[in-house]
Amino acid sequence: MPNNKIEKITLKQEALISLYREKWSDIVISNNILDRYQAQEAVKTAYELTGRSKPKIIFSDSSNSALKIFFKWLYAPYLFNYFGTKDQKKLSENLGEHIARQLPKQLMAELNKRFTNQIGYELDKHLDIQMLSGIPSVQNLPHPNINLYIDMIDNCINPKTWEQIASKYDFLISELNCIYSPKVWETFQNLIKYCGWIFPFEKLCLICDYPLEFLYDSTYRPHAEGEPTIKIANGCYVYAYHGVLLPEKYGRVYPQDWQISWFLEEQNVELRRVLIQEIGYERIAEELQATVIDSYSVSQSSEVRF
């Protein structure tokens, strides 16, 4: 059986490799603002191509708490202790299976399956060295809160990590005239061009702009005082105090300025603990002329009787 695979490329084609890498690097860099319609269509098509039902799509912005859905789901076991096991199970059921690893692998497998049959092993290896060797390792990114950043990268589809892969696919299709699946390739390109970070579940998909900043404490828990812990390009902010997710009302104010009325009105046990920790029993007693009935039970349950 004759071997029809492409085994070599010309010097001219070789010289074009760097241009394809630059092309896709420029595309990713220019992707600063989400095109919501295009992003939504790309995600829906990706689900459809991988045999899944179209999910409910939520874009994170300053008017909703969509990003908090993801953080509660991902970090509940060891960061957000107030988020109970029962509630966590209910949330998981509503969201469905987390498919951040499956979805891109299935799309790329469809493209690679065709390319593998057309490209010789040595040439494919050569192209990988030339086009994929520059993919930055997440561990080497110059970011101080690397633990949180790695968790987020591992649990989302981050199109920025696909640019070299896209450059290789583009080269194979445009220069070597490889046969490919137009629908899959178009969807793959659109996910890179029009989406930011994608947190996909079976039933829901969260799409948000790229995080601009992470702030953290000495134990790498999300933490900031008087400002967002995580800043998103479109004005969506996440506030946290030593790993405890805060409402914006608390997070925008420095702890020393937190109000006793917030403690009295707050129903969440973990948030009450944080509030009383910063406000202090003495200030509460002094300002409200309160009587602490049982200091031991107060320290255990964060409840004060007035």
CB 38 within 8 A of CB 26: no
Q: Which of 94, 173, 86 is nearest to 127 (CA)?
A: 173
Per-residue pLDDT reduced to its tens digit, 130-174 = 988 765 444 444 444 445 555 566 678 878 778 889 999 999 999
Q: Which helix (H) or strand (E) holds 57?
A: strand 56-59
Q: State the DSSP string of 263-287.
A: HHH---HHHHHHHHHHH-HHHHHHH
Per-residue pLDDT reduced to its tens digit, 164-218 = 899 999 999 999 999 999 999 999 999 999 888 888 889 988 887 766 567 777 7
Determine the pLDDT at residue 182: 95
CB 236 within 8 A of CB 67: yes
User: Of residues 112 and 144, which shows the higher confidence score?
Assistant: 112
Q: What is the pTM of this model?
A: 0.67
Q: Which of 207, 182, 183 is nearest to 196 (CA)?
A: 207
* Residue 227 backbone phi and psi in degrees, to 5: -155, 165
Q: Which of 78, 111, 131, 101 is nearest to 242 (CA)?
A: 78
User: pLDDT averaged over the chain?
Assistant: 78
Task: Map tokens 């493209």 to a residue.
Answer: 111
Task: Map tokens 């649990």 to a residue.
Answer: 155
Residue 43 CB-density burial (10 A; 0-12 exposed, 13-18 middle, 19+ buried): buried
Per-residue pLDDT reduced to its tens digit, 39-96 = 999 999 999 999 999 998 988 765 545 556 565 555 544 333 434 455 556 666 777 8
Band of pLDDT at residue 123, cut at 50, 70 and 90: very high
Determine the pLDDT at residue 43: 96
Q: Provide CB contacts within 8 A for 188, sequence distance 6+.
A: 107, 108, 111, 162, 166, 169
Burial 222-231 (b: 16+ CB within 10 A, else e): bbbeeebbbb
* Helix boundaries (H) for 134-231: 146-154, 163-174, 182-194
Q: Given a cut of 60, is residue 304 above it in pLDDT?
A: no
Band of pLDDT at residue 24, cut at 50, 70 and 90: very high
Crossing angle of the two packed helices 11-29 and 163-174, in degrees rounded to 10 = 140
Determine the pLDDT at residue 79: 36
Q: Give the pairing type, strands 244-246 and 230-232.
A: unpaired
CB 48 within 8 A of CB 196: no
β-pair partners for 222 = 216
Q: Provide CB contacts within 8 A for 280, sequence distance 6+.
A: none
